[in-house]
Chains A and B, each alone.
Chain A
Amino acid sequence: KAGVTQTPRYLIKTRGQQVTLSCSPISGHRSVSWYQQTPGQGLQFLFEYFSETQRNKGNFPGRFSGRQFSNSRSEMNVSTLELGDSALYLCASTEGRTDTQYFGPGTRLTVL
């Protein structure tokens, strides 16, 4: 079974731009969660989507948003990028029966 895939793997943007990251979960997994990883703050939960609905949300500003499609693929969007948004963004898909999350390789976003 293929793992979680994330595209692109690397992105470089400038302040004020917006960015969209994509995540394809493991086949059969309906829940997708997003996390931000930075050296200073560690791993922080952004949001979770299940059956195209946001089910849980972390403490991030409204510039961070996401959505999920009927095939369970998910996107997250960050608008009006700030330097502090530079991070590794990780997507995880959840095996429903065990609630175990499996992570993708991440997208490394650099904001200049």
Chain B
Amino acid sequence: GDSVTQMEGPVTLSEEAFLTINCTYTATGYPSLFWYVQYPGEGLQLLLKATKADDKGSNKGFEATYRKETTSFHLEKGSVQVSDSAVYFCALLQSFTGANSKLTFGKGITLSVRP
């Protein structure tokens, strides 16, 4: 079945450092890929998405590129802020006509950014 693997955490960075969070997936066909972020005590917020190979999703300075050849969707940000401290989830969605909407999530990784 489908699966998503995220790098082990937690990750602690200093403010303005470069961030990379690795995500690889196993799936048949051509899934859509997502990054969600969860702040303490809250639900999941969509951060960015990509629906086909070589698409780049971007939002709030974060970027991720859908790499089908390496089955990866790594999240990057050039300069992190304290406010980026949260848990980040990589997820995939298989698209089948008439029966859909099951997201498969990675385990999540906690990012802490020090001032």
Contacts and interface: CB of A to CB of B under 8 A. Distances in A.
Given A42-B105, A43-B89, A43-B105, A99 B100 contact: yes
A42 B90 CA distance: 12
Interface string A62-92: 0000000000000000000000000000101
A50 B102 CA distance: 12
Given A103-B44, A105-B43, A33 B102 contact: yes
Contacts of B98: 55
Interface string A13-37: 0000000000000000001010100
Contacts of A33: 101-103
Interface in B1-60: 32, 34, 36, 42-46, 49, 51
Interface-centre pick from A4, A33, A42, A43 (highest chain B CB count, 10 A): A43
A98 B57 CA distance: 14
Contacts of A102: 46
Interface size class of A (residues with CB under 8 A): 20 to 34
Contact of A56 (B32, B36, B89, B99): B99
Nearest to A32: B101
B36 A48 contact: no
Interface in B90-109: 93, 95, 98-108
B43 A55 contact: no
A42 B49 CA distance: 20
B30 to A, nearest CB: 12
A104 B101 CA distance: 15
Which 7 interchain pairs have the tightest Cβ spacing? A103-B44, A43-B105, A103-B43, A105-B43, A106-B43, A48-B101, A45-B102
Interface of B: 32, 34, 36, 42-46, 49, 51, 89, 93, 95, 98-108
25 contacts: A33-B102, A35-B103, A42-B106, A42-B107, A43-B108, A45-B102, A45-B104, A50-B101, A55-B99, A56-B99, A56-B100, A56-B102, A58-B102, A90-B44, A92-B103, A94-B101, A99-B100, A99-B101, A100-B34, A101-B103, A102-B46, A103-B43, A105-B43, A106-B42, A106-B43
